[in-house]
């Protein structure tokens, strides 16, 4: 499934850092790269339930990230694995990373955009993070359109702190929409007929921590805790309420997939919940993550497909179309492994919102992983604008994709229509 063989991975790692056994006595905050023998989705589910964040899925093994406690658990369960210290080149952004936005830059630019395009853009905070930072959201809609008046769509970025490219894509979508309003007929029509909500950064605390004092920390979770010595954080994408507490998330606070003390225990997920709960006009949701180049849709909590066959067909058809636009692989989330408490299971399970997760570029760790060079931002954004416009076009009624009614040609990539059976 991935380009580089595990032998290449092992030899590369061994040339850069010493092998680290599963009996390591390193601190709880030590991040470890692990290769685990696993051939089935059931094995992968057990692995992620132990608290390992699975980053690459191959035919007979996975590559993941965990901490020493999870290595002990893997050994107790009888899994065969090898673990390695993360080499220095994987702990830092490549040279010339300044195009990635830190919190101050993101907030400043969003405020400037809201002021410049005040006739169609409104910036607001939907709540605070656990450390008191604002969760900024941009509303983009036509002049004079009242909130809730038009069909809505929401884009979410960066639930996981180290996935910095998943901030840049939704933020760039904001800029693309605003700068083309009144200039591009296609964009203008979309904005006039929809209510578009974009939150580029759901996890500001974790993101800020990840990029503070290089080398970068590979931090995934938020910064929930009672002090520097006990901050383990919560995996925000395991903290949503639908089927929370099941397989594919961990109850261990030190693990990468810690689900939190209860569903919606975190202020960040509470804020997202409150906003979506109060906006019944939202029909469509897209959550950006990195990496693997995948388009995922519910369910994550079960291997079964969505029971409502029409809803399943909508997700499948849209995912396939967006896969042709991007080159990403479309599939049901649980085909990889089970997850519980994730964003899209909740948005569809509770609100019947048509929901997707994009795992953005790159395909694997060796093409940049969580820290690709800034030079790729423009291409990744360009690749992901068409599916965003496609979802916005269909937000008035996503079920149109399973009818004979085709979208307006100017809003889609020409070579994907009609969708293949």
3-state secondary structure the chain: CCCCCHHHHHHHHHHHCCECCCCCCCCCCCCEEEEEECCCHHHHHHHHHCCCEEEEECCCEEEEEECHHHHHHHHHCCCCEEEEECCHHHCCCCCCCCCCCCHHHHHHHHHHHHHHCCCCEEEEEEEECCCCCEEEEEEEECCCCCCCCCCEEEEEECCCCCCCHHHHHHHHHHHHHHHHCCCCHHHHHHHHHCEEEEECCCCHHHHHHHCCCCCCCCCCCCCCCCCCCCCCCCCHHHCCCCCCCCCCCECCCCCCCECCCCCCCCHHHHHHHHHHHCCCCEEEEEEEEECCCEEEECCCCCCCCCCCHHHHHHHHHHHHHHHHHHCCEEEEHHHCCCCCCCHHHHHHHHHCCEEEEEEECCCCHHHCCCCCCHHHHHHHHHHHHHHHHHHHHHCCCHHHHHCCCCCCHHHCCHHHCCCCC
What contacts 183, CB < 8 A, 6 or more positions away?
A: none
Place of tokens 């959201």: 137
Amino acid 87: pLDDT: 57
Q: 263: closest CA among 186, 340, 150, 354?
A: 340
Inter-residue contact 221 to 161 (CB < 8 Å):
yes
What domains can be seen in the chain, in order of their start residue?
6-87 (3.30.70), 103-416 (3.40.630.10)
Alpha carbon dihedral 91, 373, 236, 48, in 10-degree steps, equals: -60
> Rounded to whole angstroms, how far apart are CA atoms 412 and 62?
35
Q: What pLDDT does 405 receive? A: 55
Could you give the CA distance from residue 152 to residue 195 in angstroms, rounded to a whole number? 4
The CA–CA distances, whole Å, from 253 to 160, 219, 250, 330 equal 16, 14, 8, 32
The tokens for 292 are 């693997």
Q: How far apart are the C-alpha atoms of 59 and 40, rounded to whole Å? A: 8
Q: What is the pLDDT of residue 382?
A: 95
Q: Which residues are the active-site residues? A: 359
Judged on CB neighbours under 10 Å (0-12, 13-18, 19+), 77 is: exposed
**In the numeric block, which tokens belong to residue 367?**
């093409």
d(CA 277, CA 161): 25
Is the N-terminal amide bond of 299 cis, ω within 30° of 0?
yes
Are residues 36 and 61 in contact, defined by beta-carbon separation less than 8 angstroms? yes
Both structure tokens of 114: 């809201």
Structure token pair of residue 342: 């994730």
Question: What span, in angstroms and rounded, lies between the C-alpha atoms of 394 and 6?
Answer: 41
Consecutive sets of 10 residues in the chain, 421 residues long: mean pLDDT of each? 36 37 42 85 85 82 83 87 66 62 93 97 97 97 93 98 96 98 95 98 95 79 76 92 93 90 97 98 97 95 96 96 95 93 98 98 82 90 96 96 62 41 36
Query: What is the distance between the alpha carbons of residues 413 and 394, in angstroms, rounded to a whole number?
Result: 14
């Amino acid at each position: 499934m991935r380009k580089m063989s595990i032998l290449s991975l092992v030899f590369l790692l061994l040339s850069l850092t010493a092998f680290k056994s599963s009996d390591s006595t390193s601190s709880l905050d030590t991040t470890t790269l692990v290769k685990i023998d696993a051939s089935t989705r059931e094995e992968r589910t057990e692995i992620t339930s132990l608290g390992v964040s699975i980053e690459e899925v191959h035919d007979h093994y996975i590559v993941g990230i965990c901490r020493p406690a999870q290595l002990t658990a893997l050994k107790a369960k009888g899994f065969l694995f090898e673990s390695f210290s993360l080499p220095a080149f994987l702990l830092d952004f490549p040279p010339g990373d300044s195009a990635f936005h830190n919190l101050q830059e993101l907030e400043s630019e969003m405020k400037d955009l809201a002021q410049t395009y005040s006739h169609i853009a409104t910036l607001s905070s939907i709540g605070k993070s656990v450390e008191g930072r604002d969760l900024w959201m941009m509303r983009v809609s036509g002049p004079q359109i009242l909130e809730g008046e038009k069909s809505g769509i929401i884009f979410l970025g960066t639930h996981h702190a180290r996935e910095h490219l998943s901030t840049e894509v939704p933020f760039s979508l904001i800029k693309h929409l605003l700068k083309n309003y009144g200039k591009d007929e296609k964009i203008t029509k979309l904005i006039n007929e929809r209510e578009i909500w974009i939150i580029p950064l759901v996890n500001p605390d974790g993101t800020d921590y990840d990029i503070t004092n290089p080398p970068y920390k590979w931090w995934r979770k938020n910064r929930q805790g009672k002090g520097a010595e006990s901050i383990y954080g919560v995996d925000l994408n395991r903290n949503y309420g639908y089927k929370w507490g099941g397989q594919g998330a961990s109850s261990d606070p030190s693990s990468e997939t810690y689900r939190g003390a209860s569903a919606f225990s975190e202020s960040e997920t509470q804020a997202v919940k409150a906003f979506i709960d109060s906006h019944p006009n939202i029909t469509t949701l897209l959550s950006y993550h990195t990496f693997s180049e995948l388009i995922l849709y519910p369910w994550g909590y079960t291997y079964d497909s969505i029971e409502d066959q029409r809803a399943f067909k909508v997700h499948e058809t849209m995912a396939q179309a967006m896969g042709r636009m991007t080159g990403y692989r479309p599939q049901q989330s649980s085909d990889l492994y089970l997850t519980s408490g994730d964003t899209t299971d909740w948005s569809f399970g509770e609100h019947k919102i048509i929901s997707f997760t994009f795992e953005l570029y790159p395909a694997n760790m060796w093409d940049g992983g969580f820290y690709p060079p800034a030079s790729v931002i423009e291409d990744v954004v360009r690749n992901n604008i068409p599916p965003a416009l496609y979802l916005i076009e269909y937000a008035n009624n996503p079920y149109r994709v399973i009818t004979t009614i085709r979208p307006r040609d100017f809003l889609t990539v020409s070579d994907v229509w009609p969708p293949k059976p």
